[in-house]
């Protein structure tokens, strides 16, 4: 596994990284609470333990020119790209005012103005789409890096193979991050793939590939930044495997009793948020007390956003009956 000593990340930027990770952490924690209270429905998919990946990777992009295709566990990236808490809560809780009008939820959010294009539940399906987004700009002579994600489970879907090969052939500025969080729902790595590292596959596509510690936000950031620079130089796509642990079930209905307790304990010691607070504290960048202050402030904003969202009504029922097409066709009931 590639390890790299991080140097030269300015203190202000390190505090920003922590802030985004705390936002992701508190958002997920809030969603778990809302689910238990019966206020959030559908699938609640947390990224607890994976915050360093979504935040570190998205921060490596240029938000004014690149584009993000996050998965359902990449809320951190939404924050990095400027999504407001209010809009995310309206979307997750399916309330009036959600940009998706209540048609979809569970992190499948798109906000073209912010250069965010969401996901569908069919894993791997958005990877060729992300490649095509960059291809369109390549035709115009513009390099737009598309960053997208897949899990260790989703990486076994056929469309992932097609998309990576296609991106490599056309040297597209695509970065695929495989978040290897050890389990695909209940299925462990050992029943998903037989290669040593998922990034080994990069060689077969003729692209750059690397496996890194996904719990260290600065390693993630540095590695992604290198991939972004490679893409900008016209050197094509990159495959980055980030090794982490899914600290909750597949979604909140799942008690994940199939995961050995010791494994969770082992990974809990490597918690990306807590470890980063310790590191910033030790480095004199931000004290733990200041970090807790930051967390309290975020939590307060979170609670306000939740209250505002829950005060909103459900979307009007008629929303379900319109916009199937951009140009209406007289759809039937």
Partner 1 sequence: MQMTYLEAIADAIRLEMRRDERVFLIGEDIGTYGGAFKLTKGFLDEFGSKRVIDAPISEAAIIGASIGAALNGMRPVVEMQFMDFVTNGFNQLVTVAGTTAYRWSIPVPMVVRGPSGGGVGANPFHSRNSEAWFAHATGLKVVCPAFADDAKGLMAASMRDDDPVVFFEHKGLYRKIKGEVPEGEYIVPLGKARVVRQGMHCSIIAYGSAVHMALAAAEEVAKEGIDVEIVDIRTLVPFDEETVLESVRKTHRAIIVHEAVLTAGFGGEIAARIADKAFSYLDAPVKRVAAFDAPTPFAPTLEQAVLPNSTVIANTIRQTCSF
Compare residues 115 and 248 and give the one whose CB is closer to partner 1.
115
Q: How far is the CB of 79 from partner 1 (least distance, A)?
A: 19
- Residues that bind partner 1 in the complex, under the rule CB under 8 A: 99-101, 103-104, 108, 110, 112, 117-118, 120, 122, 125-137, 139, 144, 146, 158-159, 162-163, 165-166, 169, 323-327, 329-330
Count Cβ atoms below 10 Å from residue 296 Cβ, excluding itself. 12
Q: How far is the CB of 68 from partner 1 (least distance, A)?
A: 13
Q: How far is the CB of 8 from partner 1 (least distance, A)?
A: 34
Compare residues 249 and 315 and give the one whose CB is closer to partner 1.
315
Compare residues 110 and 225 and give the one whose CB is closer to partner 1.
110
Compare residues 138 and 299 and give the one whose CB is closer to partner 1.
138
* Residue with token string 């980030």: 242
Task: Read off the DSSP letter of residue 163.
Answer: H
How far is Cα 273 from Cα 265, in angstroms, rounded to an integer? 15
Q: How far is the CB of 133 from partner 1 (least distance, A)?
A: 4
Of the candidates 179, 218, 241, 275, the residue with the CA atom closest to the CA atom of residue 17: 218
Compare residues 144 and 182 and give the one whose CB is closer to partner 1.
144
Of the candidates 155, 173, 171, 156, the residue with the CA atom closest to the CA atom of residue 206: 171
Compare residues 48 and 130 and give the one whose CB is closer to partner 1.
130
Kind of pairing between the strands at 238-243 and 208-213 = parallel
Q: How far is the CB of 35 from partner 1 (least distance, A)?
A: 22
Of the candidates 169, 125, 186, 167, the residue with the CA atom closest to the CA atom of residue 150: 125
Q: How far is the CB of 139 from partner 1 (least distance, A)?
A: 6
Measuring CA to CA, how many Å separate 318 from each of 108, 309, 329?
Answer: 21, 20, 16
Instruction: Report yes or no: 231 and 175 within 8 Å, Cβ to Cβ.
Output: yes
* Residue with token string 């969080």: 181
């Amino acid at each position: 596994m590639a390890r790299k000593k991080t140097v030269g990340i300015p203190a202000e930027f390190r505090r920003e990284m922590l802030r985004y990770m705390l936002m992701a952490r508190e958002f997920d924690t809030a969603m778990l609470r809302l689910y238990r209270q019966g206020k959030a429905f559908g699938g609640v998919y947390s990224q607890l333990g994976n915050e360093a990946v979504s935040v570190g990777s998205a921060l490596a992009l240029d938000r004014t020119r690149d584009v993000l295709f996050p998965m359902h566990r990449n809320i951190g990236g939404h924050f990095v790209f400027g999504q407001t808490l209010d809009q995310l809560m309206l979307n997750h809780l399916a309330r009036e005012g959600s940009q998706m009008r209540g048609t979809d939820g569970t992190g499948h959010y798109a906000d073209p103005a912010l250069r965010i294009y969401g996901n569908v539940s069919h894993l791997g399906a958005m990877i060729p789409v992300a490649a095509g987004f960059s291809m369109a700009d390549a035709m115009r002579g513009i390099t737009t890096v598309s960053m997208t994600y897949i899990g260790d489970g989703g990486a076994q879907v056929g469309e992932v193979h097609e998309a990576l090969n296609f991106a490599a052939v056309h040297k597209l500025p695509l970065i695929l991050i495989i978040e290897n969080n050890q389990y695909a729902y209940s299925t462990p790595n050992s029943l998903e793939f037989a290669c040593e590292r998922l990034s080994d596959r990069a060689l077969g596509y003729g692209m750059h590939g690397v496996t890194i510690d996904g719990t260290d936000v600065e390693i993630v950031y540095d590695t992604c930044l290198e991939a972004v620079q490679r893409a900008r130089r016209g050197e094509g796509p990159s495959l980055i495997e980030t090794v982490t642990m899914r600290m909750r079930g597949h979604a909140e209905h799942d008690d994940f009793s199939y995961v050995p307790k010791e494994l969770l304990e082992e990974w809990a010691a490597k918690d990306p948020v807590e470890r980063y607070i310790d590191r910033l504290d030790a480095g004199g960048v931000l004290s733990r007390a200041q970090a807790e202050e930051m967390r309290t402030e975020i939590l307060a904003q979170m609670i306000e956003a939740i209250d505002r969202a829950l005060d909103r009504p459900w979307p009007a029922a008629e929303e379900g009956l319109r916009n199937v097409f951009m140009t209406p066709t007289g759809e039937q009931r």
